[in-house]
Copies of this chain bind each other. A is one copy, B any other.
């Protein structure tokens, strides 16, 4: 989850180590970071740790839960700094923060894209009452080189590369779902954090590679309900390597089948008016998942339970607002982190 070639040194890193916790992650000097492996997750969450996936990139959402920062940027380990058409290196984090700090416009489409960007504005015919926009919760960045394709498309188009730099950021309109990729994603944790649960994927679960998609559908439905914005477009990162399409197909195939029922479900979800917080929305969504998707597969009953566990764990770790992680646990983690670094340096 860290990217030594990019300019992450000024930022606080949370590294969630996937898989075997006995393996040592080597982090170069000069980074301000916390590292969590499976043992740490089990220790911090106790029995609630079963909501965090194992041997799947979905484990990253544990980092969202323990973070004490307002803005989260999550990136895959095979993503590097991309260049714009002039050859200049793109500061992805800076663009994400710009996206998150300026409003979104989910209620009406602006044909010149992000109206808050320098050199552009709302076009003729855009209602003035909607020009203040709404707070932006999510900034979804894109990928040059290897596009984020599913296994069937990877198999059909193994050589396709994304070389097109589209110089735009836009709001995804209210009521429209999108495939949220976790490869290059930023969000305002205070606004939407508890909805960014990456589900039950990977080890012991019937599917993988739908972690970010699940989070995206839940997040979009909740953002629409709460009047928050979701942007997509810039920044680009350089996605260096394609994952194995045969392995991906095995992980995905149930998801590919199930999503045909999931999308109509999420398209028709309505949340009651008294769902005024992300947590309330998410618990309500978990009930609807159980009621309507449980019959698709028993997996969704388990997932609905895990959604509730996730919120319980989130609230437990974030009970006192900004100082989210209990101080004692935080110290334990600091110790573990130093120890890990010493071992990796030897």
Contact = CB atoms under 8 A, between A and B. Distances in A.
A164 B259 CA distance: 37
B109 A172 contact: yes
Interface residues of A, number: 58
B85 A210 contact: no
Interface stretch (A41-49, A112-120, A197-205, A307-315): A112-120
Interface in A217-243: 232
A111 B147 CA distance: 10
Contact of A160 (B119, B166, B168): B119
A168 B157 CA distance: 21
Given A113-B166, A119-B160, A259-B127, A175 B178 contact: no
Interface stretch (A56-64, A148-156, A288-296): A148-156
Contacts of A112: 142, 147, 162
A342 interface: no
Interface in A61-83: none
A216 interface: yes
A125 B216 contact: yes
A179 interface: yes
A322 interface: no
A213 interface: yes
Given A108-B263, A112-B142, A178-B109, A150 B125 contact: yes
A124 B150 contact: yes
Contacts of A85: 85
Nearest to A115: B153
Contact of A126 (B120, B166, B179): B179
Contact of A123 (B163, B165, B179): B179
A115 to B, nearest CB: 10
A111 B153 contact: no
Given A109-B232, A111-B179, A166-B168, 13 more contacts: A85-B85, A108-B263, A111-B181, A112-B142, A119-B160, A119-B162, A120-B160, A122-B153, A123-B147, A124-B213, A125-B259, A166-B167, A168-B168
Closest 10 CB pairs of A and B: A125-B179, A109-B178, A173-B176, A125-B213, A124-B150, A166-B168, A175-B175, A127-B263, A124-B148, A123-B148
